[in-house]
């Protein structure tokens, strides 16, 4: 009887050990499903390893069987779990791509360089401490405000140019009245904008300091240097030029005003901070990325126009020099194709303006109909074929630039994640009948049993088969699901199982089978002795 009771007690102890292992396995699966940040998934394994090392001596104290066998069991369990944790850490290191360093991110001329720079900037924003309020305002919000100032200044310059034209109309007696706004108003406004631009540059220099001209991720800050140069040009116009042209003609000084139009480039800085300019940023990036393709396309078209211009110019010079032909026709041909430069410019109009009938028909009708063969061949090959190939090339560059724009991809990912979370929060609020901010098992099962809710989850790429097991997976053990647990868990369950999750579960099951087998092997001598 004593031996039978002792065997029954050891069987209970063995069943208790297996129960704990299965509970730990269930916890591991729940952690894998609920964890979004992959490195955090490894933490439960280390916690379980520590817990096991504590619970094993407790089991040893309760069990008075041969201590060597139980010590062997504890050693096997702890060693196996240690191997599991180490294997998981190795999987994390293999699955995690190397982060882009600032040195590698400097190669911004290629799509990979752009992605590396954007990734480095995103990692820097997530991992480093937030900038002080003044520095954050200078880096982000100030660009939008200064862009608005530049647009207003541009509108003022347009109004000033329009009123100057009205004043010229009055001087030419084309208008009966002078403009109502005097020039002094524009001078005061121009000085005010100049002060704003100086304050902008000084504020950036004082707050950003070294980052004003060099950023560890972006590299040399050419836009800030460009702003400083524009302010210097503006200061030269307002302060130095008036002293140089006192009492003289200001016509020479007005030429430098054209340089101020370059300040419109400053508005392009808004596209990095304002979401509504996202497509404009894509177009600008495409134009910049397509400069090489544009150059060689222009070279090809230039060679084609150059060759045909030589042919048509030499062919028509005999007609132009022949005194027997009509003088008006000879003058017209000379105006269009009289020398190489005239013929080249005419072919430029034929190729790019779309007005080729007005340039070609006079030659065919007034000189010789056989010229239709030359012009039709040129138009079919260059205007129709080559131009469309160049257009397709730019379209390909646009799509490639959009696919390689890491900033836009990250922004779209954040926006989609936010929209998805908003939909899950709406579903949670609809399922929370009592409005206490948490879902009980009954509320959860009742809500997810509604066909409309299931269709809504299917639309969100979340397929629910059994509600109660899903509640146990989402729950952290307190018997209720908060809105954070609900959103985090369902976002993790979105779509199909990932390869890393499947491999992790397979390895965990293999480790569990190994642990059970070694526990069984270690306890067999004890069973035989008893």
pLDDT digits (tens, 9 = 90+) for 10-37: 666 666 766 777 677 677 766 665 554 4
Alpha helix stretches (DSSP H) within 450-498: 451-459, 467-474, 483-493
* CATH assignment of the domain containing 197: 1.20.120
- Amino acid 84: pLDDT: 40
Closest CA to 88 of 32, 131, 137: 32
Q: pLDDT tens digits, residue range 78-89?
A: 344 344 444 434
* Mean pLDDT to the nearest integer, 234-241: 73
* Residues 505 and 488 both lie in one domain: no
Residue 205 pLDDT more than 80?
Answer: yes
Residue 334 to residue 321: CA distance in whole angstroms:
9
Residue 371 lies in a domain: yes
* Residues 352 and 324 both lie in one domain: yes
Single out the residue in 385, 404, 423 at which a domain terminates. Answer: 404
- Amino acid 303: pLDDT: 92
Mean pLDDT check: name the lowest of 57-61, 451-455, 469-473: 57-61
Residue 65 lies in a domain: yes
Token pair 């800085």 is at which residue? 269
- Amino acid 179: pLDDT: 75
Residue 213 pLDDT more than 50?
Answer: yes
- Amino acid 277: pLDDT: 62
- Amino acid 124: pLDDT: 56
Closest CA to 343 of 317, 369, 362: 317
* CATH assignment of the domain containing 342: 1.10.287.70
- 148 pLDDT band, cuts 50/70/90, is confident
- 233 pLDDT band, cuts 50/70/90, is confident
- Amino acid 57: pLDDT: 38
* Residues 246 and 366 both lie in one domain: no
* Residues 82 and 212 both lie in one domain: no
* Mean pLDDT to the nearest integer, 394-413: 73
Both tokens of 42, joined, read 């490894």
Confirm whether pTM is higher than 0.75: no
- Amino acid 2: pLDDT: 46
* Mean pLDDT to the nearest integer, 389-415: 76
DSSP code of residue 267: G
Mean pLDDT check: name the lowest of 103-117, 149-163, 505-519: 103-117
Residue 97 pLDDT more than 50?
Answer: no
Q: For residue 6, how far is the Cα from the chain centroid?
A: 67
* Residues 300 and 359 both lie in one domain: yes
Token pair 């820097």 is at which residue? 124
Residue 455 to residue 463: CA distance in whole angstroms:
9
C-beta separation of 203 from 143 below 8 A? no
* Residues 400 and 414 both lie in one domain: no
* Residues 143 and 85 both lie in one domain: no
- 46 pLDDT band, cuts 50/70/90, is very low
The DSSP bridge pattern shows strands 219-220 and 214-215 to be: antiparallel
Residue 482 pLDDT more than 60?
Answer: yes
Residue 191 lies in a domain: yes
DSSP code of residue 438: E
Listed in sequence order, the residues at least 6 apart from 170 whose beta carbon sits closer than 8 Å to its beta carbon are: 176, 177, 178
Residue 103 lies in a domain: no
Residue 188 lies in a domain: yes
Q: Kindly report the average pLDDT of the chain as a whole number.
A: 71
* Residues 158 and 259 both lie in one domain: yes
- 263 pLDDT band, cuts 50/70/90, is low
Q: pLDDT tens digits, residue range 420-436?
A: 778 878 888 887 777 77
Residue 142 pLDDT more than 50?
Answer: yes
Q: pLDDT tens digits, residue range 299-318?
A: 999 999 999 999 988 888 88
Residue 472 pLDDT more than 70?
Answer: yes
Q: pLDDT tens digits, residue range 381-396?
A: 988 899 999 888 878 8
Token pair 């340039």 is at which residue? 359
Residue 386 to residue 397: CA distance in whole angstroms:
17
Both tokens of 20, joined, read 């704990």
- Amino acid 81: pLDDT: 38
Residue 8 lies in a domain: yes
* Residues 156 and 262 both lie in one domain: yes
- Amino acid 6: pLDDT: 53
Residue 108 pLDDT more than 50?
Answer: no
- Amino acid 443: pLDDT: 82
Total domains in the fold of the chain:
4
* Residues 54 and 171 both lie in one domain: no
Length of the chain measured in residues: 530
Phi, psi of 434 (to 5 degrees): -85, -5
- Amino acid 491: pLDDT: 73
C-beta separation of 428 from 486 below 8 A? yes
Residue 464 lies in a domain: yes
C-beta separation of 233 from 256 below 8 A? yes
* Residues 142 and 264 both lie in one domain: yes
* Mean pLDDT to the nearest integer, 146-156: 81
Mean pLDDT check: name the lowest of 159-163, 194-198, 395-399: 395-399
* CATH assignment of the domain containing 431: 1.10.238.10
- 216 pLDDT band, cuts 50/70/90, is confident
Both tokens of 139, joined, read 């880096």
Single out the residue in 372, 389, 404 at which a domain terminates. Answer: 404
- 58 pLDDT band, cuts 50/70/90, is very low
* Residues 396 and 413 both lie in one domain: no
CA of 266: how far to CAs of 33, 62, 120, 202, 390, in Å?
47, 77, 25, 16, 30
Residue 351 pLDDT more than 70?
Answer: yes
C-beta separation of 63 from 526 below 8 A? no
Single out the residue in 374, 404, 434 at which a domain terminates. Answer: 404
Listed in sequence order, the residues at least 6 apart from 228 whose beta carbon sits closer than 8 Å to its beta carbon are: 201
Structural domain that includes position 385: 291-404
Residue 125 lies in a domain: no
Mean pLDDT check: name the lowest of 307-316, 441-450, 458-467, 510-519: 458-467
């Amino acid at each position: 009887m004593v031996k039978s009771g002792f065997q029954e007690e050891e069987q209970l102890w063995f069943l208790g050990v297996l129960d704990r292992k299965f509970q730990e396995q269930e916890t591991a699966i729940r952690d894998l499903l609920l964890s979004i940040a992959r490195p955090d998934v490894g933490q439960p394994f280390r916690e379980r390893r520590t817990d096991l090392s504590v619970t094993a001596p407790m089991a040893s104290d309760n069990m008075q069987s041969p201590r060597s066998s139980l010590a062997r069991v504890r050693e096997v369990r702890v060693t196996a779990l240690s191997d599991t944790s180490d294997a998981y850490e190795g999987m994390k290191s293999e699955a995690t791509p190397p982060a882009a360093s600032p040195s590698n991110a400097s190669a911004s001329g290629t799509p990979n360089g752009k992605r590396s720079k954007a990734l480095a900037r995103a990692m820097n924003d997530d991992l480093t401490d937030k900038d002080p309020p003044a520095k954050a305002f200078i880096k982000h919000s100030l660009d939008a405000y200064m862009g608005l100032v530049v647009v207003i200044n541009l509108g003022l310059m347009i109004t000033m140019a329009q009123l100057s034209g009205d004043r010229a109309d009055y001087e030419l007696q084309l208008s009966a009245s002078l403009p109502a706004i005097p020039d002094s108003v524009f001078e005061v406004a121009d000085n005010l904008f100049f002060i704003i631009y100086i304050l902008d540059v000084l504020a950036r220099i004082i707050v950003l300091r070294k980052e004003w001209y060099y950023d560890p991720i972006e590299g040399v800050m050419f836009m800030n240097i460009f702003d400083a140069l524009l302010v210097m040009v503006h200061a030269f116009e307002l302060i130095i030029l008036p002293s140089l042209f006192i009492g003289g003609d200001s016509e020479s000084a007005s030429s430098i005003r054209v340089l101020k139009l370059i300040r419109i480039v400053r508005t392009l800085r808004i596209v990095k901070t304002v979401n509504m300019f996202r497509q404009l940023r894509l177009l600008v990036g495409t134009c910049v990325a397509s400069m090489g393709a544009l150059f060689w396309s222009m070279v090809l078209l230039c060679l084609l126009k150059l060759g045909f211009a030589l042919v048509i110019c030499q062919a028509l010079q005999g007609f132009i020099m022949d005194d027997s032909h009509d003088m008006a026709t000879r003058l017209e041909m000379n105006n269009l194709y009289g020398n190489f430069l005239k013929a080249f410019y005419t072919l430029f109009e034929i190729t790019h303006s779309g007005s080729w009938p007005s340039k070609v028909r006079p030659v065919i009708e007034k000189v010789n109909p056989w010229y239709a063969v030359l012009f039709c061949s040129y138009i079919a090959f260059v205007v129709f074929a080559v131009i469309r190939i160049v257009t397709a090339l730019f379209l390909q560059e646009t799509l490639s630039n959009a696919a390689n724009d890491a900033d836009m991809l990250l922004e779209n990912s954040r926006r989609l994640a936010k929209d998805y979370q908003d939909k899950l929060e709406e579903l949670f609020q609809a399922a929370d009948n009592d409005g206490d901010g948490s879902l009980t098992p009954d509320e959860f099962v009742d809500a997810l049993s509604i066909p409309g809710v299931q269709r809504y989850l299917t639309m969100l790429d979340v397929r629910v088969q059994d509600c109660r097991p899903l509640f146990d997976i989402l729950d952290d053990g307190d018997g209720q699901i908060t809105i954070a647990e609900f959103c985090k868990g369902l976002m993790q369950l979105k779509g199909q199982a990932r390869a890393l999750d499947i491999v992790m579960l397979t390895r965990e099951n293999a480790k569990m089978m190994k642990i059970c087998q070694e526990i069984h092997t270690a306890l067999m001598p004890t069973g035989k002795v008893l």
